[in-house]
Copies of this chain bind each other. A is one copy, B any other.
Amino acid sequence: MQAEIIAVGTEILMGQITNTNGAYMAKQLAALGIASYHQQVVGDNAQRLADAISLAEKRSDIVILIGGLGPTPDDLTKQTLAAHLNLPLVEDADAMAKLAARVKQQQRPMTPNNKLQAMYPQGADILVNRVGLAVGAWVEQHQHAYVLLPGPPKEFIPMVDHELLPRLAKYSGHHEAFVSRVMRFFGVGESQLVTDLGDLIAKQTNPTLATYIKDHEVTIRVTASGETQADAEAKLEPVIGAIMEREGRYFYGYGDDNSLAKELVKALVATDKQITAAESLTAGAFQAALGDVPGVSDYFKGGFVTYALATKAAFLNIDARELAAHGVVSEFTAKAMAEHARQRAAADIAVSFTGVAGPDTLEGQPAGTVWIGLARMGQAPVAQVYHFPGGRNDVRKRAVMTGMMIALKSLRD
């Protein structure tokens, strides 16, 4: 059983985007034990795309097409595959309803190009798009399987995980049932994780382990197959246990549609606690990340961006002379920011960030030096210093995520 990935998009050929989807898909194929000896990239051109499909089906059993399902005239992957397989395109009622609602919300007319997003080659299995409007498809014909997947990674990854992988496992497979769990870690590098778990990864066959790094966090997808769901689940558990035993202190949650911010909001809901923040170098990024989570408004009423010393004093009622005496990059300032913000916002818990994003040094401290404070009602505030690697925005991003991890652990304690 061989699979071949065809990434479709002139943007890839022009180098405007990197083919990260190809890498993600390839990793999943490898984890499932499906061989892949070729990949192709073609532009948004029907003839060249049809040629690429013809070439792929000569040498591979599964042809995976990524990209070109959108509403613009240069999105033609779906039409091209359907024509190649001599199948008409038909409408999916659910996807069409979702599309119609979106079009109505935007007060735009429904164009034929737009409608194509809700269509699929007749006889295909729909691959549901949980994030966007374009449906994917799984088509079997003449001993081959053909797959249509959307290009935007935020649509592509959930569709692969939830819709495609079970079908691939079954199609390639020995086993009927297939379970997979994503474990999320922050504060540990991928290479360290791979080293720590080297023996588990080396002997992987069932379950398989696939690590993935993005935006400073690492995920491990653990995938098991078996005769039944329960059988597969049973194979999963001991491996997850072994991973937790070694890496539990970096683990923060399960699931591919998860984030530190989501887990933090879940913990706020569970403990019924209000959060606030006072941000210097992160300039609002911690609070903005909280705001990403729907429903946060019951647990987060507002906070402060205190970029300069003067605003730290003025917005938070901290003594300006004391601030000046201790400096911006100090334990005192981190603690004072957290505790004063907590009181000003009448919150249960507050996180503060103060330090050196870079590129320049500040108060003689190198870029990457960050104090993160934590204030909790009825407890003395605490603060800890970090030395984050990377450029200005890596430092700021890591600071935000570390602050979330600190708040999360404190709420879970």
Contact = CB atoms under 8 A, between A and B. Distances in A.
A110 to B, nearest CB: 14
Contacts of A36: 13-14
B304 A308 contact: no
A284 B403 CA distance: 15
A294 interface: yes
Q: How large is the interface on A (under 10, 10 to 19, 20 to 34, 35 or more residues)?
A: 35 or more
Interface in A106-134: 106-107
A286 B307 CA distance: 14
Interface stretch (A23-31, A140-148, A163-171, A376-384): A23-31
A232 interface: no
A303 B301 contact: no
A283 interface: yes
B19 A15 contact: no
Contact of A308 (B52, B282, B301, B310): B301
B12 A39 contact: yes
A23 B27 contact: no
A86 interface: no
Contacts of A105: 366-368, 389
A15 to B, nearest CB: 3
Given A284-B287, A291-B285, A291-B357, A304 B307 contact: no
B48 A42 contact: no
Determine the main DSSP class of A at the interface with B: mixed
Contact of A302 (B52, B210, B308): B308
A19 B393 CA distance: 24
Given A285-B291, A301-B310, A13 B41 contact: no
A359 interface: yes
A285 B282 contact: no
**How many subunits of this chain does the assembly comprise?**
2
A254 B307 CA distance: 28
A169 B76 CA distance: 32
Given A297-B307, A345-B311, A23 B30 contact: no
Contacts of A291: 281-285, 307, 357, 396
Contacts of A286: 284
A47 to B, nearest CB: 10
A202 interface: no
Given A283-B288, A301-B311, A28 B41 contact: no
Nearest to A17: B23
Nearest to A278: B302
Interface in A16-66: 16-20, 22-30, 36-43, 45, 48, 52, 55
11 contacts: A15-B30, A38-B42, A40-B41, A283-B300, A284-B305, A291-B307, A291-B396, A297-B308, A302-B304, A302-B305, A303-B305
The 10 closest A-B pairs by CB, nearest first: A283-B291, A284-B284, A15-B27, A302-B311, A15-B26, A39-B41, A284-B287, A301-B308, A285-B288, A18-B23
